[in-house]
Structure formats: C-alpha cells, structure tokens
Amino acid sequence: MDDAAPRSRLILAEDGFLSRHARCPEPRPAEWVFGQDDSIDAGVGTVMDGPLSRGVVNAARRDAFNAWHEFALARHLETRDPACMEFAMGLRPGVASLYERRMGHYEPGLDRFKHNGTPVYVADHALQVSGKKRASYEDREHWRKLLKRTPNEDWHRGHLAAGLVLSGADDGYWDLRADPELTLLGAAGRL
C-alpha cells in the first residue's frame, strides 16, 4: 500500500464494561488474546454471562458495531485483503444470530455462512431489535453454537467480535480498539 494513501480509522465512543458483571477476572489475564484458540472460551464467556444476559444493547454499543463493520469494509477497499471482508461477513450473522428469534420475518436458511448470506439490512434490523429486546440464554447459546460453525478464522473473529461489541466487552475488557488491524486480521495476517 502506498504510504500516501489514506487509511481508514476506527472511531468509537468510550463505553465502560465491568468484568465482574461477566464473572471474569479483573484485570484480564495477559495470556487472553482476542481470537486466539486458547482464549475463545473466555471471550464467549463475556458474551454468555455479561451484559447481554441482563439488558438491552445501548446506543453506544450499537454504534460501535456499525463502526467496526464500516471499518472492516473500508480496510478491504483500501487493501484488497479478503480477511477484512471475511471479518465483516462474520459480524453480520454474529449480530443476527443473537436476535433472529425476535425478527419474525427473518429466515436465515442454509446460506448464513456465504458472502452476503446475512445482508446488511438484516444485521441492521437485528441491531434495532437489540436496543429493545434482551438476548435470552437461548439466543446467546444459538450465537455460541454458530460461532463453532464459522467457515474460517477471519469469519470466526468477526462473529466473536459481534458478541463482544454488543456486550461492551470489546473495548472495556478485550481492548479490541487498541490494535484494530490485529482485531481484523489476527496475529498471522497483519498488513
């Protein structure tokens, strides 16, 4: 990439997350790294037992989800790295899976893990629902089961990030914004 070319920036509002509400140790153990296999259970735990289990998603977290999605798409356009697009494709079914039972018209069928299998408007509708309805245990369990079925590591990171962002654990605990490229691409795929 040309050094003079503009780079997309991820801009997020501050949003606190209290790890004690997700039954997680404070501070987060240094060996827990977002997206790495040995930390997946801890990441899933912050979604399963965190704020999503107790209330609706606030506007800052919904905005953060949109910011991550837009950032991933912009980085894909800038770099042509397919990992950025795969991350964005993982975000969409990640949010939809948490609220699809509340979206009466939405039937994901078998194509949720294909490009645009979960269109942007479906993810947007799920975000709207997230501000009005709590994700039940069954919803969060559905999200967790689908996380295991994601087609590749980039999609997997996106799906996991969707849950973390909506729970507020993305920045307040997992610190995804500290290195957005690492979040998008994982340690092996740095641009």
Q: What is the pLDDT of residue 5?
A: 52
Q: Which are the contacts of 165, defined by CB distance < 8 A and separation ≥ 6?
A: 61, 64, 65, 68, 176
Residue type, 36: Q
Q: How far apart are CA 104 and CA 125, in angstroms?
A: 11
Q: What is the pLDDT of residue 108?
A: 67
Q: How far apart are CA 81 and CA 49, in angstroms?
A: 34
Residue type, 10: L
Q: What is the pLDDT of residue 183?
A: 92
**Each residue's pLDDT tens digit, 118-149:** 999 999 999 999 999 999 999 999 999 999 99
142-165: buried (b, 16+ CB within 10 Å) or exposed (e) per residue? bbbebbeebeebbbbbbbbbbbbb
pTM score, whole prediction: 0.89
Q: What is the pLDDT of residue 7?
A: 75
Judge contact between 158 and 189, C-beta under 8 A.
Answer: no
Judge contact between 140 and 47, C-beta under 8 A.
Answer: yes
Helices 59-79 and 153-167, packing angle to 10 deg? 150
Q: What is the pLDDT of residue 83?
A: 95
Low-confidence ranges of the chain (pLDDT < 50): 1-2, 4, 191
Q: What is the pLDDT of residue 16?
A: 60
